[in-house]
């Protein structure tokens, strides 16, 4: 599960949460939340669920969109 760190941060700040207060509400350390927002950590699904619940959104709304990275054409 790849979080969209910048989107999490944008939504957190838009809702008026500070880093420490949000992390405490999500039951994680502020350092861990900071690493998630900077794209350095991928949280467990239950942590993503707590973050999404606090932001009032779906987990899918704060996940990085999967893009195909294969440069070769698809064979049919």
| pLDDT range class, residue 4, cuts 50, 70, 90 | very high
Tell me whether residue 67 is exposed, middle or buried, using C-beta atoms within 10 angstroms of its C-beta: 0 to 12, 13 to 18, 19 or more: exposed
- Does residue 48 register a pLDDT over 80? yes
- Does residue 69 register a pLDDT over 60? no
CA-CA distance, 20 to 63, in Å (whole number)?
A: 21
- Does residue 46 register a pLDDT over 70? yes
């Amino acid at each position: 599960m790849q979080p969209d760190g910048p989107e999490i941060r944008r939504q957190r700040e838009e809702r008026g949460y500070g880093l420490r207060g949000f992390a405490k509400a999500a039951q994680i350390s502020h350092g861990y939340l900071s690493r998630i927002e900077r794209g350095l950590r991928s949280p467990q699904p239950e942590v993503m669920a707590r973050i999404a619940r606090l932001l009032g959104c779906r987990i899918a709304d704060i996940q990085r969109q999967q893009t195909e990275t294969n440069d070769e054409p698809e064979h049919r």
